[in-house]
Homo-oligomer: A and B are copies of this chain.
C-alpha cells in the first residue's frame, strides 16, 4: 500500500487516538515502513510532526512512543482543557457576533443529531470518529470568536490529547452516558447564546469534571 505522508499522518493519528497503538507502545520507523511501503525516514518525519500535537513522545537517540496514559495525566490534560475552554468561551461571548451564534447553533445541531442516533443505535466504531469530529467542531466553534489564534490552536492539540487519554478508559459509553452528554452540550449552548459567561464556564466545567480524578482547586 503506497500512500502519501498526509495519509500516513492521518492513519497514525487515528491509530493513536483509538488506542490501536497502546499507550507507551514503541513506534519503530523500521517496522512501520513496511506497513506503509515507504522509507523509515518518512515515518520518522511524520512521527516528529505528531509529537508536536502531543500524541507521540520523542526522546533523542531512543525513538518514539505512543503518549502514555495515566489517571494523573488524564486529570492534568482535563484541567488544562478546562482552563483554555473557560477563557476561550469568556472571550467568545464578549467578542462573538451573530455569525458566531449561527455557527455555534449549526455545530450543536449536527452534534446533537449524531448523539441522538447513538442513543438509538448504541455507540460503535462507525460513530467513534463521526462523534469525536462533531464534538470537536462544537467545542472549537464555541471558542472560535475568542480572538486568540494561540489559544485556539493549543486547545485543538489538547483536545486530541484528551481523546487519546479517554480511549482506553473502562467506561460505559452506553445510553445513559450519551443522554447526559446531550444535556450538557445543550446547557453549554444555551448559556453561550444567552451571553452568560459564568453560566457557560460552569457548564463547561460540569461537562468535563467526570474526567478529573482528584478534587480541583
| A154 CB within 8 Å of chain B | yes
The residue on B at minimum CB distance from A214 is B147
A99 and B85 alpha carbons, distance in the complex (Å): 32
CB distance B49 to A80 under 8 Å?
Answer: no
CB distance A87 to B94 under 8 Å?
Answer: no
CB distance A76 to B217 under 8 Å?
Answer: no
Q: Say how far A213's CB is from chain B's closest CB, in angstroms.
A: 13
| A113 CB within 8 Å of chain B | no
| A30 CB within 8 Å of chain B | no
A15 and B216 alpha carbons, distance in the complex (Å): 41
A154 and B52 alpha carbons, distance in the complex (Å): 12
Interface of A is mostly: helix
| A119 CB within 8 Å of chain B | no
Q: Identify which of B49, B94, B148, B217 contacts A91 (C-beta below 8 A).
A: B217
A151 and B48 alpha carbons, distance in the complex (Å): 21
Give residues of chain A (22-60) contacting chain B, Cβ–Cβ below 8 Å.
Answer: 41, 44-45, 48-49, 51-52, 58, 60
Give residues of chain A (113-155) contacting chain B, Cβ–Cβ below 8 Å.
Answer: 148-151, 154
Q: Identify which of B5, B45, B217 contacts A48 (C-beta below 8 A).
A: B45
A44, A77, A79, A150: which has the most chain B beta carbons within 10 Å?
A150
Q: Identify which of B73, B76, B95, B148 contacts A76 (C-beta below 8 A).
A: B148
The residue on B at minimum CB distance from A157 is B154
> A51-B52, A154-B154 known; A76 and B5 CB under 8 Å?
no
CB distance B80 to A83 under 8 Å?
Answer: no
Inter-chain contacts of A148 with B (CB < 8 A)? 76, 79-80
Chain A interface (Cβ < 8 Å from any Cβ of B): 5-6, 41, 44-45, 48-49, 51-52, 58, 60, 73, 76-77, 79-80, 83, 87, 91, 94-95, 148-151, 154, 158, 217
